[in-house]
Amino acid sequence: MQRVRNVEIAQTTIPVISPEDLVVTKILAGRPKDLEDIRGILRERRESLDLDLIRETLHLLEQALGQSDLRPVLDAELDRTR
């Protein structure tokens, strides 16, 4: 899976992160607006998201940061958008 893709806008190439990485960054930020954004992404793209990749990335971040509260945020938001 390509995690960054380039988009052409007005003859300028802009790198854009994947929806999976956007979900991860929103979970890391953790503000109410970020959680709302995650719910919107899940509602619109749930079927095409690589949830395993999101979980694995969150797991690696939890290990690196010495915490265990990131994957539960994803699970809670998945439950809310079912």
SS3 call for 4: strand
Q: Along the 82 residues of the chain, how does pLDDT read in single tens digits? A: 558 889 999 999 999 999 999 999 999 999 999 999 999 999 999 999 999 999 999 999 999 999 999 999 999 999 999 8
CA dihedral 9, 37, 77, 59 (to 10 degrees): 60
Domain locations along the chain? 18-80
Which pLDDT belongs to residue 2?
Answer: 56
Is the CB of residue 49 less than 8 Å from the CB of residue 20? yes
| CA within 13 Å, CB half, 72 | 3
User: How many whole angstroms separate alpha carbon 29 and alpha carbon 50?
Assistant: 20
Which pLDDT belongs to residue 28?
Answer: 96
